Structure 1
Amino acid sequence: MSEHLPQPCDLLIEAGHVVPVQPHAVVLEDTGVAVRDGVIVGIGPRSEMRADWQPARTVSRPDAVLIPGLVNAHTHNPMTLLRGIADDLPLMTWLQEHIWPVEAAVIGPQFVADGTRLAIAEMLRGGTTCANENYFFPDVQAQVYAEHGFRALVGAVIIDFPTAWASSSDEYFAKAEGLREQWQGHDLIGVALAPHAPYTVCDANFERVAAMSAQHNLRVHLHTHETAQEVSDSVRDHGMRPLARLQRLGLVNERLIAVHMTQLTGEEIALCAEHGVHVVHCPESNLKLASGFCPACALARAGVNLAIGTDGCASNNDLDMFSENRTAAILAKAVANDATALDAASTLRAATLGGATALGFADRIGSIEVGKQADLVCVDLGQLETQPLHNVISQLVYATGRHQVSDVWIAGVSRLENRVLVDMDIDGIMANARQWRERIASVRG
């Protein structure tokens, strides 16, 4: 028991269990976390925390586990409005014959704003507090994320053909620079460069991306090695595999967020480890599009930082990181033919601190540590589906559903309370979704 006077704080969260993620695989029992000015200022046994802190508000969840907010490390969140329009198709057919034509007809600032808002609501109810975004009109996305107090790394798209966002390479890069300048130093919003893929970006534009990334220390968020066809086409067109081409162009480094990576040799895995490349595993999207299997276990064992993402709702079809984590862990075992591959604690780490590290946010989020931002999630493990509770971390990865998320905070601000979203117009979001359904149906005929 402390003898000094208790210190004031804004919030004291008491949970039956706390999984801080760092240190690895640790579970703290009957623990309190104190928050002041959006920052974690104390962690300890509940009785000690009650003696040491005088909170303006206490939230007590004795049947819950408190975890860091989940980081969805690869999203196209406005595509929530395209959920289910072109299912059961291979990637290039899905893209070229369905997604791109519909986007060309409907995409614009309002589509992006409404889709992003729908995604934020879905993510919050599923315990996700941060997204790595890759879509057009990133200026609109950034405004909507900031409006709702949601943390995001927003990607400035670079692609070789005109879109509603930009009509030329120079305009794509000018808008990327404007986005960087506008959001530089923001508490919640960061900016990355998002060249779409090796098959849609030429060498000259990749070289401009590499130069801008190095100059401003920007992450490069890129789909690559997603399918066998992508790799064979690269060999045909460039005389080398995509990763070798990226290395030649100066992009294989610690700023690269390489998404999907289902087609990798042992040498390529070693290259990623050597140069600090971050890999985002999107198992459900890859499975649904039959794109291949990311060798997640081999990457992790080689020392590559592994993160987890859902991809967009047009190819997943949800933003459920609990489902994604379970799939990632189970698929890794099958791919490696090893039941010990990507264990539960390592999976949860990939979905939190791994994602934060990939985005360049690890100094702020991804684990429950004093000095970090209070991006926190309470998950109710007292329900029938997660009883009896033999192992908290295993239960989180293998048995828990997103419906068990009870409370969410971002930078100490309540965003979900007892399953109720805070300061979000759910009726309006639903009405907008229905309007877009009708408009997209009319476009498709």
Structure 2
Amino acid sequence: MQADIQINARWVAPLSASHSRTVLHNQAVFVKDGKILAIQDQQATSHEADQVVELNDHILLPGYVNAHGHAAMSLFRGLADDLPLMTWLNEHIWPAEAKWTTGEFVLDGTRLAIAEMLKCGTTTYSDMYFYPHQGAQAAVESGIRNVSFTPILDFPTNFAQNADDYIEKAVAAHKHYHNQPRITLGLGPHAPYTVSDAPLKEVTTLADQLDIPVQIHLHETAFEVAQSLEEKGKRPTQRLADLGFLTERVSCVHMTQISDDDIQILKQTGASVVHCPESNLKLASGFCPTAKLLSNGINLGLGTDGAASNNDLNIQGEMKTAAMLAKAVAEDAAALPAWQALEMATIGSAKSLGIDDQVGSLDVGKWADMQAVNLSQLGQNPLYDPISQLVYTDSSRATEYVWVEGKALLEKGQLSEASGLDEEQLIANAVQWQKKISQN
């Protein structure tokens, strides 16, 4: 069969069920109609292609899946640093959002975020932010894959007035993008302390009816847990379990304050955890016990959170931080080895978003969402183990190619015409936003 593209790479890390922790050498990956057609030895291929890409110094692997973020908040990067979470939210971020968050803000901020993520090897990102129509529009225009969780809160914002209003707008966004293959619209109740029981129950019912994913910030700080015990008489995870909210559809973001009972609830319900180590560290929120979660069979994804609390969207850096932090928390240098960290950033994140049947590994029939990293540069040598090099060095600077559905959005380290993104224009626009926000 004639393929559209043949990519010859020195190393290929499929992360597939058949080659889960194996690096293949001198392989050819064939792409047809945006999907992976075959992976074969370069010397024994049975296909031909219209285009051949030679990557003699590169490792080809699935694109990273950033399982949690707030893309438009890239325009708030560095706006309020070195503050605890509730001070950061109540005194800085929420007032700034009340003043500046509009459809235009979301469109511009999301474009900036997408460009940054593409240059770091991300092919899918999760977004939880207001004005999902504009956020999804930016994703459609650029060619990246997006899972968008429309926020739901009990109180009013620029976007909606109450929980019913948020939910109505979330359903409308889902209907609008339902037939767009690269866009998934889900439901994003912000957190147990900002959403009451009735809307949480409605979210569960709607998610089942519409067959869509759900994401929630959960157990982010000790204060959140203490407040829930005082007001509800139970921990947030127990409250959500009692409401029937926690299911395999749900990804729980942060989870820094976890008891053995919480772990058992996650295990029983099948909910995933999305780890955001750098945001948690910066806000001093606590430590997610990733090694303990993994040993209990709980699926883990990896996210950057928003640029306002990280302050970058580099999932490769997040992968390194996650691996190193896990060792310190577990007091075990063998905790979360390089392969597991890479799985969190790819197939684990895809599973947490409910799209692991489409992306997250290089499998025949899955979408050709891939990245190629040059491992011949100064900071990558000497090279004994390509996976170790990916995780423990700053390999994001060596990301040279990114494909989504077989379309090259990054070529030789530069955003391609197919992405529709102009780096100089994005920077100039961000500077204009910075001037407006700084003056008010």
Same fold (TM over 0.5): yes
1:44 paired with 2:40, answer yes
Q: Which residue of 1 aligns with 2:23?
A: 27
- Does 1:16 pair with 2:21? no
In structure 2, the partner of 1:289 is 283
1:427 CA drift (Å): 2.1
Residue pair 2:389, 2:395 contacting (<8 A) in 1 also: no
What amino acid does structure 1 have at the position aligned with 2:37?
V
User: What per-residue deviation string (whole Å, max 9, x for no partner) do you get for residues 110-168 of structure 1?
Assistant: 10000000011000000001011101111111111011111010111101111111112
Query: Aligned ranges for residues 26-425 of structure 1 at < 5 Å?
Result: 26-49=22-45, 52-423=46-417, 424-425=421-422
2:278 and 2:423 mapped to 1: Cα distance?
27
Q: CA deviation at 1:416?
A: 0.3
TM-superposed CA distance for 1:340, in Å, is 1.1
Amino acid at match of 1:251: F
Tell me the secondary structure at the aligned position of residue 75 of structure 1.
coil
Instruction: Name the counterpart of 1:4.
Output: none
Q: CA deviation at 1:441?
A: 0.3
Instruction: Specify the code of the residue in structure 2 equivalent to 1:117.
Output: R
Q: What's the offset of the Cα at 1:263?
A: 0.5
Which stretch has the larger CA shift, 429-438 or 170-179?
170-179
User: Match of 2:434?
Assistant: 437
Q: Distance in 2 between matches of 1:276 and 1:234?
A: 22
Counterpart residue type for residue 70 of structure 2: H
After superposition, what is the alpha-carbon deviation per residue over 1:259-286, rounded to whole angstroms, capped at 9, x for unaligned? 0000111121122122111100000000
CA distance in 2 between counterparts of 1:231 and 1:158 reads 20
Structure 2 gap ranges (5+):
none
Moved over 2 A (4+): none
Q: Residues 183-221 of structure 1, C-alpha deviation per residue, up to 9 Å, x if partnerless?
A: 113210001100011111011111111111122222111
How many corresponding residue pairs? 435
Deviation at 1:324, TM superposition (A): 0.2
Measured after TM superposition, the shift of residue 426 of structure 1 is 1.8
Give the secondary structure class of the aligned counterpart of 1:34.
strand
Gaps of 5+ in 1: 1-6
Is the contact between residue 136 and residue 157 of structure 1 (CA under 8 Å) also seen in structure 2?
A: yes
Letter in 1 for 2:8: E
| 1:230 partner amino acid | E
- Following superposition, the deviation at residue 322 of structure 1 comes to 1.0
> Scaled by the length of structure 1, what TM-score is found?
0.96
Q: Secondary structure at the match of 1:74?
A: coil
Asked if the contact 2:373–2:395 (Cα under 8 Å) also holds between the matched residues in 1, the reply is: no
Residues 373-415 of structure 1 deviation map (CA, whole Å, 9 limit, x = unaligned):
0000000000111111101111110113311000000000010
For residue 68 of structure 2, give the secondary structure of its aligned residue in structure 1: strand
Does structure 2 retain, via aligned residues, the 8 Å contact 1:40–1:371?
Answer: yes
- Aligned partner letter, 1:39: K
Kindly provide the amino acid, as one letter, of the partner of residue 442 in structure 1: Q
CA contact (8 A) 2:241 2:265 kept: no
SS in 2 for 1:290: coil
